[in-house]
Amino acid sequence: MSGKIFPTAQDAENAFYEALERCDLEGMMAVWAEDEEVVCVHPAGSRISGQDQVRESWAKIFAGGPRARVRTEQQVAISGMMLAVHSVFEVFTLPGKPETQPAPAIATNVYLRTAAGWRMIVHHASPAPAQAQAAARESGPKILH
């Protein structure tokens, strides 16, 4: 599908959020493992399994084109030899519209070390309640292991 190699899970995560911000479908799918049982849960959405359904879901999300900037905050990273798990707050901002900021999300991202480098295998995002937003902005990245 794609020749991109991500040497670390963090490289895959960076590419994921870059593709999300740019609404770049090919860039997004290059991050995902070529596995039929990848799992994706968009905020307030159901569980989506399989490459085709995951691609379709991102195509719908990206249809309107880029609007929001996205950055991750307060990362907790757990790393094994084959799997890495990152818990992050996804903070969205609309350039030029400080009064209408989208709600942040909480995401659990799981990366698998494949023959073609690290790839995303699970993305589970859910809306962060209002009180979480301040907390997300208070502290920097954390590394667990």
Give me the residues that bind a second copy (CB under 8 A), please.
35, 37, 39, 41, 43-47, 49, 74, 76, 78, 80-85, 87, 89, 106, 108, 110, 112, 121-122, 124, 126-129, 131-132, 135, 142, 144
Cβ closer to a second copy: 23 or 112?
112
Cβ closer to a second copy: 20 or 77?
77
Report the Cα 132 to chain-centroid distance in Å.
18
Report d(CA 108, CA 117) in Å as an integer. 20
Report d(CA 31, CA 112) in Å as an integer. 11
Task: In angstroms, give the least distance from the CB of 96 to a second copy.
Answer: 28
Task: In angstroms, give the least distance from the CB of 143 to a second copy.
Answer: 9
Cβ contacts of residue 87 below 8 Å, gap of 6+? 75, 76, 77, 106, 107, 108, 109
